[in-house]
Structure 1
Amino acid sequence: MRRSAIGLDIGGEHVTAALVDIETLQIYNDTIYSHFIDSQANDPRLVIKSWIDCIHDLLNDYIASYDQSSIKYDIVGIGIGLPVPLDYKNGISLIKNLYKYESFYGINLTMAIKHALKEL
């Protein structure tokens, strides 16, 4: 089994998830999933749900094709790229006046994402 992580690239209009080999940092092209997101939504739960839905699609397809796949992945974590101001130590969003993710200001994104992942 190849040790892998789910990489989540969150942009202003899309979210992309893929499996990434931890040792080589190779992205497995057949595991790339993208979703449109509304980063200006007033309810951050809807935006976070779209992030989780992208991960869910990746995992569902991986599980569905697991028996037929010649490569097996040991998924050991998730890495998230979100190019906005954050208090990284505490996971708190500091997003203001960027015209995206404004509704996230002051929210503990670490806790919100962990909570949403439990729904998977």
Structure 2
Amino acid sequence: MPDLVIALDVGGSSVKSGVVQADHTVYQRRTTPIDSSGPAESILATLAAIIDGHARTLGKDAVLRGVGLGFPGPFDYAQGVCYIHGVAKYEALYGLHMDAELRARLAWGPKPPIRFRNDAEAAIIGEFCYGAGRSFVRGIGVTLGTGFGSTFVVEGKPQRAGPGVPPNGWLYAESWQGQQADDVFSARGLQARLAAAFGRPLDIPTAAQRARVGDQQLQEVFRRFGADLGAFLYPYARAFDAHVVLILGGIAHAMDLFETAVAQALRLPVRGGALGPDAALLGAAELFFA
């Protein structure tokens, strides 16, 4: 029986999960609703039930290496302590040692080790190891969604420091034209651009569809967004000697409208993701397979 890892990608309203084999096959994919604004006991019980649900299906000869979770921050991933505060998701977990809390609630035994990594990092590492970035030695991955996530990668391993690498590899707190990058290259940043151009709020999927059918004003908004993203990333990519930039996250669904502008500003190959939801599961499992 191959070695296995139970992997979870914890989002704001649902948890994607699956079982990952040592050959990187993902099976038993599930999506489970979660009330991230609820009390700690409810959140922990939901996560434990997901883990137990997968564990109960494993054969008696299965070798379960552990449980890997991609989890949003702030979070001490090495110690397994949640520090989310002041937002409407998971702040009830503030200060809790998540590994101990989850292990205490697992019905299935023996209790497996539990490890954590940033949710954006999990998806990026999954893509660099097994997806769109696997043929590149060095690169930067970014996730464009509710927030602006990033990971600097060498041979499938995240880099926390070094030339061109901001603290922990996190670009969200860096500055771009007097603003925090997280406020510019996230969904709210793009929505602000769209509202300014359109004269009223416009959701990103609708704007993208209108741009694709010929709205030149909206086409220019997406092009400018891509040009700014590329210009922002350029000094980091150059100092890091990146060979590629991967773009993931919800905004990447509109990447056809800004990919060329990013690549022109970066002067590097730019790729979207290839693995979909499996990327984060594979990246979480890599905590045990690396």
> Which residue of the partner structure matches residue 27 of structure 1?
26
| AA aligned opposite 1:103 | A
Output one character per residue of 1:19-72: Cα deviation in whole Å (capped at 9) or x when no partner. 1012x32212xx11221000000x211111111111222233x25xx59xxxx7
1:74 correspondence with 2:63: yes
Unaligned runs of 5+ in 1: none
Structure with higher helix content = 2
What CA distance in whole angstroms lies between the structure 2 residues aligned with 1:74 and 1:107? 28
What CA distance in whole angstroms lies between the structure 2 residues aligned with 1:114 and 1:52? 8
Contact 1:5 1:20 in 2 (8 A): yes
What CA distance in whole angstroms lies between the structure 1 residues aligned with 2:30 and 2:95? 29
Q: Tell me the SS of whatever aligns to 1:107.
A: coil
RMSD: 2.0
- State TM-score, norm by structure 2: 0.35
- Offset at 1:110? 1.9
- Offset at 1:4? 1.1
- State TM-score, norm by structure 1: 0.77
Structure with higher strand content = 1
1:49 correspondence with 2:40: no
> Which residue of the partner structure matches residue 111 of structure 1?
100
Counting only pairs closer than 5 Å after superposition, residues 74-93 of structure 1 correspond to structure 2 as 74-93=63-82
> Which residue of the partner structure matches residue 36 of structure 2?
39
Contact 1:5 1:79 in 2 (8 A): yes
Percentage of matched positions with identical amino acids: 26
Cα–Cα, structure 1 residues 75 and 90, in superposed 2: closer, same or farther, change >3 Å?
Answer: closer
Contact 1:32 1:58 in 2 (8 A): no
Cα–Cα, structure 1 residues 114 and 56, in superposed 2: closer, same or farther, change >3 Å?
Answer: closer
| AA aligned opposite 2:65 | V
| Larger Rg belongs to | 2
> Which residue of the partner structure matches residue 83 of structure 2?
94
Unaligned runs of 5+ in 2: 109-290
| AA aligned opposite 2:25 | Q
What CA distance in whole angstroms lies between the structure 1 residues aligned with 2:50 and 2:81? 22
> Per chain length, whose mean CA-contact separation is higher, i.e. which structure has more relative contact order (CA < 8 Å, sep 6+)?
1
Q: Tell me the SS of whatever aligns to 2:105.
A: helix
What CA distance in whole angstroms lies between the structure 1 residues aligned with 2:55 and 2:101? 20
